[in-house]
Amino acid sequence: MKPLRRHQLIWLDEFGWYRTLATAASSASLSGQPTAADAMALECLEHWAEQRWPLVVTRQPGEPPAGESDLPVALGLAAPARWGRRAIGVSASARDVAGRDEFPFLAAVVPSLPISAQAGARALLEGLARLRVVARVYGSYGWQQLSGLEYVHSRSDLDLLFDVATGAQADRVCAALQAARLGPLRIDGELAFEDGGAVAWREWLRFRAGETDRVLVKRIAGASLEDAAAWVETA
């Protein structure tokens, strides 16, 4: 199985969904008296299965050995308002994975942003294009774009993911984000480096400004505080 990456979308095949739903239902029944939250989570998963919508890769127990095809894969979804906006986690077999993709590009999400943010978002897109960097949208706006269900509320941030190759490129992306004017809409998100580690863009700015010498680096198997300068050199 090819290596997984954070924020990657996974589509399950029919048998994969059957096993996932059966496991979720069994877990709820074994926990004693199923709660209303358990019932909502199962109902949400059943709807996802009917629509054949993707799940997202979450923290894995570790990188699978090369060639393994039946190891469990930790997946999840952020439920929409209809099901309480809760995080739902499941486990599926790697052999049940039918396809992979990524969250939508920012360009596709701009029309669904608040009117006050759309011009600024288009200007940000133009700046990123000059840097040869694309932005993908995860979080509330990303899930809403994928499903058409209600996710976004008045306090929702715009969560963006940027693949960057070097620290200098990360600096240029952050400069573009600082200059962006999206009205009251707050931009959150991460810079994803080629070594598989990712850092929140605002934390990157604090490191570059000399405010901290350690950064929280998020990886597929977890997150840890790392010496910023040493990590950037390695990444």
The string of pLDDT tens digits covering residues 10-53 is: 999 999 999 999 988 887 665 556 677 788 999 999 999 999 99
CB-CB neighbours of 77 under 10 Å: 24
What strands lie across the sheet with 222-227, from one edge to the other? 135-138, 158-163, 187-192, 198-200, 214-219, 222-227
Per the annotation, the verdict on 227 as an active-site residue is: no
For residue 106, give the nearest of 175, 174, 160, 152 by alpha carbon: 160
**In the chain, where the domains are located:** 9-101, 106-234
Does the pLDDT value for residue 64 go beyond 60? Answer: no
Q: Which of 38, 96, 101, 159 is catalytic?
A: 159
Tens-place pLDDT, residues 108-157: 999 999 999 999 999 999 999 999 999 999 999 999 999 999 999 999 99
d(CA 230, CA 214): 9
pLDDT of residue 33: 60
**Strand 158-163 vs strand 187-192: parallel, antiparallel, or unpaired?**
parallel
Axis-axis angle for helices 36-51, 14-30 (nearest 10)? 170
Q: Which of 13, 38, 157, 171 is catalytic?
A: 157
Per the annotation, the verdict on 195 as an active-site residue is: no
d(CA 22, CA 167): 45
d(CA 45, CA 27): 13
Cβ(215)–Cβ(226) below 8 Å: yes
Mean pLDDT (whole number) for 159-170 = 95
Which of 25-39, 50-64, 150-164, 213-227 ranks highest by mean pLDDT?
A: 150-164
Cβ(111)–Cβ(21) below 8 Å: no
Mean pLDDT (whole number) for 156-175 = 96
Per the prediction, the chain carries an average pLDDT of 91
CB contact set of 103 (below 8 Å; sequence gap of 6+): 7, 9, 136, 137, 138, 142, 145, 146, 161
69 band by pLDDT with thresholds 50, 70 and 90: low
Which pairs from 223-229 meet CB under 8 Å and 24+ separation? 226/197
pLDDT of residue 199: 96
Q: Do you know the residue count of the chain?
A: 235
